């Protein structure tokens, strides 16, 4: 479990340029965050690794990039217009607003997923749940609140021009099923993945970037024959968990939690969440893997009147495939990685260093070139300008070498490269490792290959 407070980790991320408050000079905007100089690189590295491992290197999967704005009938077919809502309650005393299911779960430990507003009212009354802000038991009745952001397309703002910002990326995949099948000529089993923005007007966003209204998803819809779905479901649970471990997250901070029968969505035969022990909660969902059967394709067939079918090229059999959906939010992976990487270590000289133990493939800055003294800046900078053709590096000549090491430890740079007076004679540099703090001499001619090997994922 993480031994550092969440506030401490968040403060470090904000101070070092991983994440900024959105619209900060205007007082900010509730639950709006900008990813800064380091954070934007970490996000990019996360997405690049996912795309490479789940799309490019997969023998099964292809990728698309679908539009954020979709025909509103899409959301009618999926049930989002009618049923994509949370129940909210207001405290009559202090006017605070809460999601009813979260209020119940935090107070009692009981799940209210799938409960009607009336059932949630009964649970709040039965357990005499009080407001977390003012301690009073005086709530309004629970009422549904649609989570989709609404806007207008075209020049007129009327009912005919209403569209929605997509609340998930999955439907852009389902509506393109025939297009992908025709143009890629894939055979079952195969998957369609994409990375993109989604938007949900959460009633109670919070815990920094854990639950936000604007977020990115990395989503895969994997199609297979009915009857083969559960084995593929287990395959993707194992694959996703293995991917997180390869990213360097400590296994003791992770668990796979299968959903109970009562918790399952009505269309799912099996769902598991990969959860992480975040500092602000016992366990928080990071990655969900669901067996969605043929629900989505059949709903779109019903509402669009188009046939979304697969024809077996050998037998000629035609059927609606089943679908396994591994879905993960970029921000949640980001938060898990930085919480797991953050550490403070006491050194032999009595100093304390802050270090981010990020996997080298994910680290925003791969290496920092440091001339021992400013007299050596010219050849050191020439080395730096050569390295940036292959790696995201920084050049730092301010302060002592020790202070430069500490700065780079704190942002997660895996390697510091010191150019010293001996480098002028032997054409070698000293490479200092972030995690062990060990140093070794490496020939400049071999330096790129040396770094590439250690930056592999």
74-94: pLDDT as tens digits: 999 998 887 666 788 999 999
Q: How confident is the model at residue 105 (pLDDT cuts 50, 70, 90)?
A: confident
**Measured between alpha carbons, how far is residue 31 from residues 20, 70, 146, 157 in Å?**
11, 25, 18, 28
Question: Is residue 347 very low, low, confident or very high in pLDDT (cuts 50, 70, 90)?
Answer: confident
Please give the Cα distance from 293 to 78 (Å, whole number). 14
* Mean pLDDT (whole number) for 47-66: 97
- Mean pLDDT of all residues in the chain? 94
Residues of the chain with CATH 3.30.40.230: 85-146
* CATH 3.30.40.230 describes domain 85-146: yes
For 365-454, CATH number out of 3.40.50.720, 2.60.40.10, 3.40.50.800, 3.40.50.2300 equals: 3.40.50.800
pLDDT of residue 1: 65
Give the model's pLDDT for residue 83. 65
Query: What integer pLDDT is reported at residue 109 of this predicted model?
Result: 84
Surface-to-core class of residue 262, CB atoms within 10 Å of its CB (0-12 exposed, 13-18 middle, 19+ buried) = exposed
pLDDT band at 205 (very low <50, low <70, confident <90, very high): low
CATH 3.30.930.10 range(s) for the chain read 6-81+172-339
Residue 155 pLDDT class (50, 70, 90 cuts) = confident
| Percentage above 70 pLDDT, the chain | 98
Residue 195 reports pLDDT greater than 90: yes
- Inter-residue contact 191 to 58 (CB < 8 Å): yes
pLDDT of residue 202: 82
> Does residue 282 or residue 324 have the better pLDDT?
324
Q: What is the pLDDT at residue 364? A: 98
Q: What is the pLDDT of residues 242-270, one digit of tens each?
A: 999 999 999 999 999 999 988 888 889 99
Question: Average pLDDT, stretch 213-241?
Answer: 97
What would the CATH number be for the domain defined by 6-81+172-339? 3.30.930.10
Domain with CATH 3.40.50.800 in the chain: 365-454
Q: How far apart are the C-alpha atoms of 254 and 12, rounded to whole Å? A: 23
Per-residue pLDDT band at 344 (split at 50, 70, 90): very high
66-88 burial: b if 16+ Cβ within 10 Å, else e? beeebebebbebbebbeebbbbb
Report the percentage of the chain scoring pLDDT > 90: 82
């Amino acid at each position: 479990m993480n031994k550092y407070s969440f506030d401490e980790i968040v403060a470090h991320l904000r101070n070092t340029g991983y994440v900024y408050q959105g619209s900060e000079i205007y007082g900010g905007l509730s639950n709006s965050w900008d990813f800064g100089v380091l954070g934007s690189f970490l996000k990019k590295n996360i997405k690049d690794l996912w795309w490479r491992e789940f799309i490019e290197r997969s023998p099964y999967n292809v990728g698309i990039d679908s539009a954020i704005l979709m025909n509103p009938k899409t959301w009618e077919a999926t049930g989002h217009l009618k049923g994509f809502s949370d129940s909210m309650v207001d405290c009559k005393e202090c006017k605070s607003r809460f999601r009813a299911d979260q209020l119940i779960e935090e107070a009692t430990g009981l799940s209210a997923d799938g409960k009607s507003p009336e059932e949630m009212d009964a649970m709040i009354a039965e357990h005499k749940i009080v407001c977390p802000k003012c301690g009073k038991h005086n709530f309004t009745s629970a009422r549904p609140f649609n989570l989709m952001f609404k806007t207008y397309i075209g020049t007129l703002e009327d009912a005919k021009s209403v569209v929605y910002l997509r609340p998930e990326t999955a439907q852009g995949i389902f509506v393109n099923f025939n297009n992908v099948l025709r143009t890629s000529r894939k055979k079952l089993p195969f998957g369609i993945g994409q990375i993109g923005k989604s938007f949900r007007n959460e009633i109670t966003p919070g815990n920094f970037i854990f639950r936000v209204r604007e977020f990115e998803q990395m989503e895969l819809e994997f199609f297979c024959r009915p009857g083969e779905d559960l084995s593929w479901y287990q395959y993707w649970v194992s694959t996703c968990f293995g991917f997180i471990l390869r990213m360097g997250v400590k296994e003791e901070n992770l668990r796979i939690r299968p959903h109970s029968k009562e918790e399952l969505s009505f269309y799912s035969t099996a769902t598991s969440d990969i959860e992480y022990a975040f500092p602000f909660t016992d366990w928080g969902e990071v990655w969900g893997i669901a067996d969605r059967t043929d629900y989505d394709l059949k709903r779109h067939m019903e509402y669009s009147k188009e046939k979304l079918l697969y024809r077996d090229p050998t037998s000629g059999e035609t059927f609606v495939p089943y679908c396994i959906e591994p879905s993960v939010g970029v921000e949640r992976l980001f938060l898990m990685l930085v919480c797991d990487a953050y550490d403070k270590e006491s050194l032999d000289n009595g100093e304390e260093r802050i270090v981010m133990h990020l996997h080298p493939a994910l680290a925003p800055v791969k290496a920092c070139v440091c001339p021992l003294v400013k007299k050596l800046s010219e050849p050191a900078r020439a080395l730096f300008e050569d390295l940036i053709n292959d790696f995201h590096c920084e050049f730092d000549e301010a302060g002592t070498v020790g202070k430069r090491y500490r700065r780079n430890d704190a942002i997660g740079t895996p390697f510091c490269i010191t150019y010293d007076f001996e480098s002028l004679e032997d054409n070698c540099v000293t490479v200092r490792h972030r995690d062990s703090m060990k140093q070794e001499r490496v020939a400049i001619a071999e330096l790129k290959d040396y770094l590439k090997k250690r930056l592999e994922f």
